[in-house]
Amino acid sequence: MAIEYDPWKFIELYKTELGQEIWRFLCLPANIVRAETAVDLKRTSIEALERPLNEKFEKQFRELINEDKAKGKQKTLRLKQMIGHMVGQIMASRGFIKDKQGVILPSREDEPYRVLTFTKATRFKRGQRLENEK
């Protein structure tokens, strides 16, 4: 099942090549399994996706972070917000519901793969199964 993203207030960022690539990447079956496994472990889905995102998009993330530093912008924050929004839509499409928003993530500064770091995220839980899935 293909999931269609509703970018809402992230429309301009989503229209970029990076926005489109991130959406396609998050929708890969392996990444959906990661996100769902995190739910079963009572963790946020972003925690399971952070490493693969950083590995795949390291160059683009570094460029964005450097641009923010040089120009005093906040594109990196906006990107992280959009990624969280995307993950939320993916999880909702799979029958998950929000359990808790604003979950503070553990600091793991000793992990070198972390280019784009997430500090807060939403934790999901399994929702009621649809009648045709029982």
Identify the pLDDT of residue 134. Answer: 43
Identify the pLDDT of residue 131. Answer: 39
Task: Report whether pLDDT(69) > 60.
Answer: yes
Burial class (CB in 10 A: 0-12, 13-18, 19+), 86: buried
Q: Are 34 and 49 in contact (CB under 8 A)?
A: yes
Helix, strand or coil for residue 111?
A: coil
Q: Are 29 and 38 in contact (CB under 8 A)?
A: no
Count of CB atoms within 10 A of residue 83's CB?
25
35 pLDDT band (50/70/90 cuts)?
Answer: very high
Nearest to 25 by CA among 60, 62, 52: 52
Q: Are 1 and 64 in contact (CB under 8 A)?
A: no
53 pLDDT band (50/70/90 cuts)?
Answer: very high
pTM, entire model: 0.89
62 backbone dihedrals φ, ψ, rounded to 5°: -60, -45
